[in-house]
Chain A
Amino acid sequence: MHATLFYLFAALALMSGLLVAFNPFSRNPVTRAMFLVLAMIALSGLFVLLHAYFLAAIQVLVYAGAVMVLFLFVIMLMDLRESERRRVGAFAAVLGLAAVSGLGALLFGALRQAPAGTEAAVGSTRDLGRLLFTQHLFPFEIVSVLLLVAMVGVIMLSQREAE
């Protein structure tokens, strides 16, 4: 059961990732965004298989929810016909594929020596929260300030120039 679900979610994540990178059927950015959502949801399925339930929920809420809404808003705000018509240059495609296959060869070569590892009992959401609010309280507060700064920055960036 675990193996079946793993292969299902892994195939879904990789396929939709590939369709974000290169979609032979459509050049519409909205289609890309939708496949990105699919990849995020498959990833949250993998998180559930890894017993990271809280992160799975966060992944769906933040990525498939908030981030994707932002992406879709921006895509629909702009007229992207121009970028849809542009083709990928052959030179760029060859170089990009070469670079990615080089990186892939490196990563998979390193993975061949990875130990199989055994699944260890890892804490629940309760333990995660306890760790977050005791040992990692300072980074947590910093992140909250970062979110505030980002919010103010975005409002400032996106307002039109005052006359």
Chain B
Amino acid sequence: MTDIGLPHYLVVSAGLFCTGLLAVLLHRGLIEMYMGLELMLNGANLALVAFSRFHGNLDGQLMVFFTITVAAAEVAVGLALIVALYRQRQSTDATDITSLKL
């Protein structure tokens, strides 16, 4: 077996990003789309950590630390918005949300 290098990790990262995008594009339920967004974020995180490892630079890891924190805040706010929307419309389907007015 050959040595595991930077391209190996980048391939996994690109694959995760693509599956996340697929989840966002294929589903119309807001929760499923949200899970796809999380997958895309994690794919990008993996690329950052791999670059940090193979360039001997800790800045990539710090970036991932901040990304994870912001993603946690984003998930909390996004899910609260989805719950508020569900109370209003009894639906979490993106196709039902067509007007800005409540």
Q: Tell me the A residues contacting B by CB distance below 8 Å.
A: 2-4, 6, 10, 13-14, 17-18, 20-22, 29, 32-33, 36, 39-40, 43, 46-47, 49-52, 54-55, 58-59, 62-63, 66-67, 70-71, 74-75, 77-78, 80, 82-83, 86, 88, 92-93, 95-97, 99-100, 103-104, 107-108, 111, 114-123, 127-128, 131-132, 136, 139, 143, 146-147, 149-151, 153-154, 157-158, 160
Contact = CB atoms under 8 A, between A and B. Distances in A.
Interface of chain B, main secondary structure = helix
Nearest to A104: B18
A119 B87 CA distance: 51
Contacts of B93: 82-83, 86
B4 interface: yes
Contacts of A22: 22-23, 26
Contact of B7 (A2, A116, A120, A151): A116
Interface of B: 1-12, 14-23, 25-29, 31-32, 34-36, 38-39, 42, 45-46, 49-50, 52-59, 61-62, 64-66, 68-77, 79-84, 86-87, 91-93
Interface of chain A, main secondary structure = helix
A36 B12 contact: no
Nearest to B36: A21
Contacts of B34: 71
